[in-house]
Structure 1
Amino acid sequence: MASARLLLQGSDGSQDQHRGKDSSKTIISAAVYLPYKEPNPIPTQLEGLVNHSIQHKMDIIIGCDANAHHVIWGSSDTNRRGEKVLEYLVSSPLQLLNRGNSPTFVNARRGEVIDITLATNTASNHIANWHVSNEISLSDHRYICFNYGTTRVDTTTIRRNPKHTDWVNYSKDLKILLGDPECKLNSTLDIELEADRLSKTITQAWTDNCPAKEIKPKKVPWWNKELEALKRETRIAFNRAKARNDYSDYSKKLTEYHKAVRKTKRKSWTDHCGLISSLPESMRLTKELSLAKVSKTKTRNSQNLGKKRHALWLPNIFQAQLSST
């Protein structure tokens, strides 16, 4: 695992410096926010960070809430802030990694691409599969994902098995996304554009309902069928909102999903704490030991750590039982 050292924190962004154990190459990862009301969208801190990486020959990857529109990174239009940001990018060593036009920011009024991912030339060569995730993020901003490796990443490593497709929801999503033709098919060009849209729509509906092989969601004790159903409804609401360009219903459904997740998490934690505190000391010890099963794939160090923890805890348990008797 790479180590991290905080370089800078401020209202305009935070940066971490990483150095892998097997590599002498240093990578700076930065989260940058560009305030919407600032006349100059590019802060001096960002320029200083980029110049620092150039002077010290470091790679840099930046996740940026730009609050700026430009068709170059998939926005529906271009504004003056977007033009200024693009002017800076053209004059800098940074590469724009955004692909497609899937909204990165969604609220009750609109969906828009205002978040951009930037990287230096060398770092961008190791980045692949940049995409806006369909996972619900519990925020107005959606998750942005990509693969990074010390060698070029093969984008074909993500595979989907058609046998695992949810065909019921695929049909529902496809019906919502298709809608009516965007224009009259009066020429060969119109037909080609509509065919291209149809192809992309079918692909999107399928990928949304056929999970990638590498994605293995973590099992959490609070997840249940009700949340799964709400998550599916929220995703359908998002697809419908994107097709109609009206995000009011999606915003309500997302808020409902947020509240349900928070309520379920709190209840699960309360039930867990109540169960543990109500158990006698000996039963608590048994439960703790039963949960401490060490996987065969774990290292010897992690096994020794588990033994030390229980070795420290055992005397306290039996001392408590002796004092009570």
Structure 2
Amino acid sequence: MFKLVQINLGRRILAHDLLRQTTAANEIDIAIISEPNKNLAKKSGWYTDINIDAAICLPASKHISIQGWGQGNGFVWIDCIKITIYSCYMSPNIRLGEFQHLLNELKNSMATRKNKCLICGDFNAKSMMWNSTTNDSRGDILSEWASELNLISLNTGCEPTFRRGQSSSIIDITFAATNIAPLVTNWRVSEEENLTDHNYVYFDIAIKKDSVRTKMKSRGWRVDTTQMDYFINELRSKLPSREQTLKPERLIENISHACDNTFQRKGIPSDRKKPAYWWSAEIAETRKKCLTRKRNMTRLHKKPNISQEQKDTSRQAYKEERARLKNSILRAKQVKWKRVIEEDPWGLGYKIVMNKLSLRSPPALSEELMLDEAKKLFPQHQKTKWSTTEVRDIIPLFSAEELDRASNRIKLKKAAGPDHIPPEIIRCVAQRLSPICLNVMNQQILKDEFPNIWKTAKLLLRKTT
């Protein structure tokens, strides 16, 4: 099950801050955003349209594989979790002709993937198709466009998605293709305070995460040096009685099993995001009070027998509580930031600064382009014909002194190799079970073999500027 949120942030920085806390608290996988702050949306992990009017953010990006993405005027899309998700925004200030033109661009983008599309955004259009109380020209055009493409409106209920003063409307819409709509569940509008004129829209997509996530396995162990004696005894119990028959592959396998029985595996990164560094119980309480004032104002405006003075009083109380929430967030960010700089500048401070840098996501590469780049990196040459000479001298076997010198040169607290065995374990085995290690290595010399497992390496291409 994937959790999504849809919201228009109105370019407001504090609305971005609250969205970050909201995605962490509700374990949101994908955020679909209209009118993001243009500077904040330039960060890595954000996918935006050409004019940065629509965006998609992946708070859990480490666990979601993106197969591709693209952008246009007023829309951006990503291919992930077996569907294509669109984020859209169409300004209320554009004319009908331009509105139709943007919808045609969106339609052309969907041509090859319309059977698996989820289209979300602020279209600034009203129609009874998505439970609006009135129809307008843009709503008529959009509803005809959706019907032509066999899209279903997922909006349920009459709760407005936009509210400013006494006016309210349903202009944030969620469309889905006919075969995707049954997968979308629990669509709802939330009244919680978000410091914008729009409401959060939450919904879930019923696709198993295990089927689409990048598989992440726990690799390596947390070595406890106080448990080395237990580890050696555990390893001895797994070794065969005849040392001469022990192969390198079997030795590594036995070491891994002994590590499993002795040490804890390194943890797999959690889906749950940490709260914003400035978040506190005080701000949470202020947000709850703000929501109470908001609901009170909404209820009073719906009652016909309430005087205008009472309505104005409730609206003013909500505005004051909302301003108090804004000030609380700004004050908390200033105080916590000073503390972070003093206490943890190269830990949390470094992460915060890096997240604020304008690092755009790399463009998606086609398979042909990736193959072309790989050929440039690894040019093909004619196969070299190596001359061979017969070695008549006897290769000397390894001695215990050589093994001891080599094991002492192993640097500890370094990354493990492809077998994920930490260097601390390798040194311990080489020094405390040196006869076994010598037998394994010298048997390969006598057989004139070099096992493939000792040749295995992982090649990483690092991006340089």
Secondary structure at the counterpart of residue 126 of structure 2: coil
Q: Deviations over 1:156-194 (max 9, x none)?
A: xxxxxxxxxxxxxxxxxxxxxxxxxxxxxxxxxxxxxxx
Relative distance call for 1:4 and 1:273 in structure 2 (3 A) is: farther
Q: Deviations over 1:21-71 (max 9, x none)?
A: xxxx4x221111122132247443433443443444641111121112234
Relative distance call for 1:224 and 1:99 in structure 2 (3 A) is: same
Secondary structure at the counterpart of residue 69 of structure 1: coil
Preserved CA contact (<8 Å) 1:75 1:101 = yes
Secondary structure at the counterpart of residue 135 of structure 1: coil
Superposition pairs of residues 66-105 of structure 1, within 5 angstroms? 66-105=123-162
Q: How far has the Cα of 1:244 moved from its partner? A: 2.5
Structure 2 residue aligned with 1:127, among 184, 191, 196?
184
Corresponding letter in the other structure for 2:163: V
- What is the CA RMSD across the aligned residues, in angstroms? 3.1
Corresponding letter in the other structure for 1:3: I
Partner of 1:175: none
CA distance in 2, matches of 1:85, 1:307: 58
Relative distance call for 1:252 and 1:52 in structure 2 (3 A) is: same
Partner of 2:321: 253
CA distance in 1, matches of 2:128, 2:320: 28
Secondary structure at the counterpart of residue 179 of structure 2: helix
Preserved CA contact (<8 Å) 2:72 2:105 = no
Corresponding letter in the other structure for 1:118: F
Q: Which deviates the most, 218-227 or 85-94?
A: 218-227
CA distance in 1, matches of 2:136, 2:285: 39
Partner of 2:291: 235
- Structure 2 spans left out of the alignment, 5+ residues: 1-63, 209-271, 302-310, 348-412, 416-465
Relative distance call for 1:221 and 1:33 in structure 2 (3 A) is: closer
Partner of 1:110: 167
Secondary structure at the counterpart of residue 159 of structure 2: coil
Relative distance call for 1:217 and 1:28 in structure 2 (3 A) is: closer
Relative distance call for 1:57 and 1:225 in structure 2 (3 A) is: closer
Corresponding letter in the other structure for 1:226: E
Q: How far has the Cα of 1:140 moved from its partner? A: 1.9
Superposition pairs of residues 204-223 of structure 1, within 5 angstroms? 218-223=274-279
Q: TM-score, normalised by structure 1?
A: 0.56
Secondary structure at the counterpart of residue 279 of structure 2: coil
Q: Kindly name which structure, 1 or 2, has the bigger radius of gyration based on alpha carbons.
A: 2
Structure 2 residue aligned with 1:16, among 78, 101, 109?
78
Preserved CA contact (<8 Å) 1:107 1:248 = no
Partner of 1:146: 203
Relative distance call for 1:276 and 1:71 in structure 2 (3 A) is: same
Preserved CA contact (<8 Å) 1:35 1:41 = no
Corresponding letter in the other structure for 2:77: Q
Q: Percent identity?
A: 22
CA distance in 2, matches of 1:43, 1:270: 50
CA distance in 2, matches of 1:133, 1:4: 31
Partner of 1:63: 120
Q: How far has the Cα of 1:231 moved from its partner? A: 0.8
Q: How far has the Cα of 1:112 moved from its partner? A: 2.2
Q: How far has the Cα of 1:267 moved from its partner? A: 1.9
Superposition pairs of residues 285-304 of structure 1, within 5 angstroms? none
Q: How far has the Cα of 1:143 moved from its partner? A: 1.4
Partner of 1:39: 96
Corresponding letter in the other structure for 1:142: N
* Larger helix share, 1 or 2: 1
Secondary structure at the counterpart of residue 87 of structure 2: strand
Q: Deviations over 1:119-163 (max 9, x none)?
A: 111111211100112332232222111110237xxxxxxxxxxxx
Q: How far has the Cα of 1:76 moved from its partner? A: 3.8
Preserved CA contact (<8 Å) 1:135 1:143 = yes
1:53 aligns with 2:110: yes
Preserved CA contact (<8 Å) 1:131 1:144 = yes
Corresponding letter in the other structure for 1:83: D
Q: Which deviates the most, 225-234 or 83-92?
A: 83-92
Partner of 1:191: none
Preserved CA contact (<8 Å) 1:103 1:111 = yes
Structure 2 residue aligned with 1:137, among 181, 194, 200?
194
Preserved CA contact (<8 Å) 2:114 2:177 = no
CA distance in 1, matches of 2:118, 2:89: 14
CA distance in 1, matches of 2:77, 2:97: 21
Q: How far has the Cα of 1:273 moved from its partner? A: 1.1
Structure ranking higher on relative contact order (CA contacts 8 Å, 6+ apart): 2
Relative distance call for 1:64 and 1:220 in structure 2 (3 A) is: closer
Corresponding letter in the other structure for 2:343: L
